[in-house]
Amino acid sequence: MKKTLIITGGAGFIGSHVVRLFVRKYPDYQIVNLDALTYAGNLENLTDIASFPNYRFEKVDITDSERLIALFKTCQPDGVVHLAAESHVDRSITDPFAFIRTNVMGTCNLLHAAKELWKGAMDGKRFYHVSTDEVYGALTVDGVRFTEHTRYDPHSPYSASKAASDHFVRAYHDTYGLPVVLSNCSNNYGSHHFPEKLIPLAINNIRHNRPIPIYGKGENVRDWLYVEDHARAIDTIFHHGKDGETYNIGGNNEWTNIDLIRLLCKIMDEKLGRAQGTSEKLITFVTDRAGHDLRYAIDSDKLQRELGWQPSLKLEEGLEKTVDWYLANTAWVERVTSGVYQQYYEKQYGK
Ligand code: NAD
Ligand code: DAU
């Protein structure tokens, strides 16, 4: 069936995997990648599909409501998959307002544009909001995991902004009948991950023999999901999720940061032909992140039971694949760390 979908944040880490999956899997869909190309947006993530006839890029900032309304009028989307966001917790501590503008106001602008375009004809339309497990706050009881009924308790400006956006999405469903679906996912890892986040930062630092900064004592626990598994979950939920529902997505891979980094050090020593124990010497404990949540863990039973999705990789397998990608794509990392990647848009599309 022919459809036009707007995917926001498609030049980012997860968004680029979602765009690639949809463009390749659904040749009948027109996929519009809407992205402002902030520091986190990199069109080089999508060079393999950039010339596909069912793909197109639009440089638009979701904080610009008028631009959004105009684009919705010309594109006439049947669906929106919304991933665009400021996504890094540390940046939210130094600049919370950037997170309020994009994550809260930007999401409201998108909801408004969809409501205005679809009013009176909501059948077959879908607004999918991609959110995070961080809205649930920190787990303190062993064995307990976040379910879709866990009370919201965000602690960072990032998670507070995502929580606010989730509430607005549900409010547009309940108030205006906007056909929405939401998911809250745990920590992703994999290829094209911006090297400010723990795993790609550590891979890059190990390669250059630089210190690996571990916040506090490294005892914080995260539940890691391979990014392609997340993209598959988004595809499943977008097509089969029930209207107004929320689905938790998780990897069932809980690791303390220190154990994760020790495993990564072993893999890197092996791949780089260094003596075992070499990379571990780079581990450096630094001042903890303010408001650092101790443990996240997702119960994704609802998604598995109702829609049949399963994570496909354990962390050990996914991490090795990830390291292989970073070592085979050092040019990508160099272009990101030097800032050269930001010239790609002008070269490809002009000013
Ligand atoms: P990312 O930072 O890698 O990418 C974000 C993308 O959004 C970039 O391409 C950026 O240019 C774009 N963007 C930012 N502000 C924009 C604006 N104002 N207008 C238009 N585009 C804008 O993020 P990610 O890690 O890929 O996360 C994508 C989504 O998934 C986010 O909503 C995030 O909250 C959510 N999420 C991420 C994780 C994770 O582990 N990375 C886990 C769960 C949920
Ligand atoms: O849980 C989902 C969230 O996962 C997403 O919503 C966020 O967008 C995404 O960035 C990620 O948030 P985290 O804060 O968990 O990811 P980050 O890679 O920044 O940190 C992972 C853990 O590692 C966390 O406990 C903080 C710690 N850390 C991070 C960095 C960057 C360090 O110890 N040292 C570091 O240098």
Across the range 156-166, mean pLDDT stands at 98
Q: What is the pLDDT of residues 215-249, one digit of tens each?
A: 999 999 999 999 999 999 999 999 999 999 999 99
pLDDT band, residue 349 (cuts 50/70/90) = confident
Q: Give CA–CA dist 199/322, Å, rounded.
A: 9
Angle between helices 315-328 and 330-338 (to 10 degrees): 70
pLDDT band, residue 258 (cuts 50/70/90) = very high
Pair of tokens at residue 144: 């307990």
Catalytic annotation present for 269: no
Please state which CATH number belongs to domain 3-193+224-253+295-313. 3.40.50.720
Distance 15 CA to ligand 1 centre (A): 7
pTM: 0.98
Distance 226 CA to ligand 1 centre (A): 16
Write down the pLDDT at residue 342: 87
Q: What is the pLDDT of residues 289-308, one digit of tens each?
A: 999 999 999 999 999 999 99
Pair of tokens at residue 176: 């205006």
Pair of tokens at residue 52: 């596909």
Catalytic annotation present for 226: no
Catalytic annotation present for 158: yes
Distance 275 CA to ligand 1 centre (A): 37
Cβ-contact 191, 230 below 8 angstroms: no
Q: What is the pLDDT of residues 101-113, one digit of tens each?
A: 999 999 999 999 9
Write down the pLDDT at residue 277: 98
Best of 7, 19, 83 to mutate for ligand 1, by most ligand atoms within 8 A of CB?
83
